[in-house]
Amino acid sequence: MSLLLGIDLGQTSTKLIALRPDGTVAATASAGYPVHYAGAHGVEQEPDDWVRAVGTACAELCTAIDPAEIRAIGLSSAAHHGVLLDESQRPVRRAILLTDGRSQPQARELESLAGQEILERSRNAVSASWTLAHLRWIGAHEPEALARARKLVFAKDYVRLALTGVLATDRIEAEGSMLYAARTGDWDPELVRLAGIGAELLPPIHEPSEVVAELSARGAEITGLPRGIPVVAGASDTAAEAFAAGAVHPGDAVIKLATAGNVNVMTEHPRPSRNWLTYSHPVPGLAYHCQATNSAATALGWWQQRCGLPFAELLAEAEQSVPGAGGVLFHPYLLGERSPVWDADVRASFTGIGAASTRGDLTRAVLEGVALSLAECLQGYRAEGVRVPSAVIIGGGARNPLWRQIVSDVLGLPLRYPALADSSAGAAMLAGIGTGVLPAPAGGLAELPPLDEHIPDEAATAGYRRLLGLYTEIRTRLADVRTRLAEIKYQ
């Protein structure tokens, strides 16, 4: 039997999947790692924690499968997570994550210096979530770290380096750095200059399904797998999961409820805009566009920790609430916000709590607040003429049918919950295509029937449409209040 191994590095844990060529899952495993918060806006991780987690998860996976059956390995990870390496290929410092807001001043500086040029060269508007801004921040605050750097890779590429000894990245990950010129297919000299680094730091760029290395002796020791297994370039998590979920045609859309939340739409040609992120797709010629809210499952996890109850109990209480959560509204801005706000300083809030409000109301308000943030993202597409008739819904949060239905009602979209719904499956599929284990059709294994489907309730959708207007209005009205609140000093 042949198996394909997909490794996805999420923002809190790594997930591994052993996938059969027919699309059925032989085994999965996962292992977590800490997130390090620095001050009000810093969000970082230790790159070696990713490698250790992959080793731990591989050990678990190998109890359920025969390691000798693995024919190829693919990796994916959240984009923008740059890792600076010294001359010994060791990390110079922790990796800055995309939810880190410290480089907002540098992003504003870049916008002032060359905002339109950056948009034209990278197909994206600069913000604090991009590696370009992170590098500017490091140059301003930790110049000694930047001076020690000899190479720059990204999260999954650092793990592949540990497993194979080969430095490489893929074109989609390269786009996520904001140092890449999509029109030329190579690193952009002007964007590299703006980052304050030299071009010699940047790795070779490959196609996502291209075999770039083999598992080394050290990689075999880390994973417990036989050395010599082909390893492909892989792709960012959103690209890999879109591929796995079957979003491989223009007009296809993906709603993601994970650590962060995404609304991703596929188009035949790139449609750059300041309102969303634009990337190329694993299917050559296709583009996908991403709008995102920083806190999706993060918001529910934060609330669950404050309540001290199991998720199942909280969600059962939320089912006893009603659409509109009894008049309680939640803005999920625990880590600032991306689309369409683009403000690292905006913060979360509950509005409308009364004496009759229940814990179930507040839990439902958290679920609805994330969905309303996703609805604002969808509004941005529709405002620019991008049609989205339906979508697939994926991510850890999508495992809950109540949340899936809430999202369907809030967005007014029919949703399918696919059988293959995560980045690790997409990474495994790319590995299969690159090694010939799988053919390379546009749809991969997308024809697998969905596990569930949701149709929006018309009455609930109409109510949520009115609520969305209040959601936007409240955020706007509170913006100045939040700013003044943050400025108060107590000592």
Q: 276 and 205 share a domain?
A: no
The Cα 375–Cα 391 span in angstroms is 13
Phi, psi angle pair for 181, to nearest 5°? -100, 105
Structural domain includes residue 448? no
On whether residue 66 sits in a domain, the answer given is yes
The pTM score is 0.84
Report how far apart the first and last C-alpha atoms of the chain are (Å, whole number): 67
- The pLDDT of residue 334 is 94
Same domain, 233 and 253: no
325 within domain boundaries? yes
Based on the domain organization, do 220 and 272 belong to the same domain?
no
Show the domain range for 491. 247-417+457-491
What amino acid occupies position 291? Q
Judge if 212 and 278 occupy the same domain: no
Can you tell me the distance from the alpha carbon of 342 to that of 104, in angstroms, rounded to the nearest whole number? 10
Strand arrangement of the beta sheet that strand 42-45 belongs to: 36-38, 42-45, 95-96
Those residues with Cβ within 8 angstroms of residue 207's Cβ, 6 or more apart along the chain or in another chain: 170, 171, 233, 284
Domain check: are 348 and 231 in the same one? no
Residue that terminates a domain, selected from 192, 215, 238? 238
369 and 312 co-located in one domain: yes
**Which amino acid, one-letter code, is at 246?**
G
Q: Are residues 230 and 348 in the same domain?
A: no
* 432 occurs within a structural domain: no
What does the pLDDT read at residue 336?
Answer: 87
By CB atoms closer than 10 A (0-12, 13-18, 19+), residue 447 is exposed
Same domain membership, residue 278 and residue 395: yes
Q: ∠11-13-17 over CA atoms, to 5°?
A: 120
Residue 9 sits in the same domain as residue 152: yes
Note the pLDDT of residue 442. 46
Same domain, 328 and 412: yes
- Cα diameter, the chain: 67
**Number of domains comprising the chain:** 2
Write down the pLDDT at residue 475: 93
Residue 441 resides in a domain: no
385 backbone dihedrals φ, ψ, rounded to 5°? 80, 15
Examine residue 337 and state whether it is found in any structural domain, yes or no: yes
Residues 6 or more apart from 254 whose CB is under 8 A from it? 238, 241, 242, 245, 247, 262, 263, 264, 391, 392, 393, 394
Length in residues, the chain: 491
Specify the residue for token string 């750095």: 177
* pLDDT tens track, the chain, 491 positions: 799 999 999 888 999 999 999 889 999 999 999 999 988 889 999 999 999 999 999 999 999 999 999 999 999 999 999 999 999 999 999 999 988 999 999 999 999 999 999 999 999 999 999 999 999 999 999 999 999 999 999 999 999 999 999 999 999 999 999 999 988 999 999 999 999 999 999 999 999 999 999 999 999 999 999 999 999 999 999 899 999 988 888 889 999 998 889 999 999 989 999 888 999 999 988 999 999 999 999 999 999 999 999 999 999 999 999 999 999 999 999 988 888 888 878 899 999 999 999 999 999 999 999 999 999 999 999 998 898 999 999 988 999 999 999 999 999 999 999 888 789 999 999 999 999 999 875 445 656 678 899 999 999 999 999 999 999 999 999 988 888 888 898 87
Q: Same structural domain for residues 252 and 141?
A: no
User: Could you say which of 204, 238, 272 is where a domain stops?
Assistant: 238
Q: How far apart are CA 4 and CA 209, in angstroms?
A: 13
For Cα atoms 446, 449, 454, give the angle at the middle one, nearest 5 degrees: 110
Cα distance between residue 429 and residue 185, in whole Å: 23
Q: Which of 130, 233, 129, 120 is nearest to 182 (CA)?
A: 120
Q: Which of 180, 207, 238 is the C-terminal boundary of a domain?
A: 238
Task: Please report whether residue 112 resides in a domain.
Answer: yes
Q: Does residue 167 lie in a domain region?
A: yes
Domain of 229, CATH number, reads 3.30.420.40
Contact present, 187 and 174 (Cβ < 8 Å): yes
95 and 215 housed in the same domain: yes
Q: Which residues pair with 188 in a beta bridge?
A: none
- Give the contacts of 181 (CB within 8 A, at least 6 positions apart): 121, 122, 187, 188, 191
What backbone phi and psi angles, to 5 degrees, belong to 408?
-60, -45
